[in-house]
Amino acid sequence: MNKREFYNHKRSFLFLICFNQIEISNWRIKSPKLL
């Protein structure tokens, strides 16, 4: 794996984490009773 592939992989991974955090926050706001 070269540097560019590694960078793209890392960036997409970070994007997924951020996206998941947003989803969890939205879900928490919509359904506070479950948590």
DSSP 1-35: --HHHHHHHHHHHHHHHHHHHHHHHHHHHH-GGG-
Q: What's the pLDDT score for residue 34?
A: 59
CB 13 within 8 A of CB 6: no
pTM above 0.75, yes or no: no
Side-chain-facing half-sphere of 27: CA atoms under 13 Å: 8
User: What's the pLDDT tens digit per position in 1-35?
Assistant: 799 999 999 999 999 998 999 988 888 888 766 55
> Which two three-digit tokens encode residue 26?
């939205």
Tell me the two tokens of residue 34.
């479950």
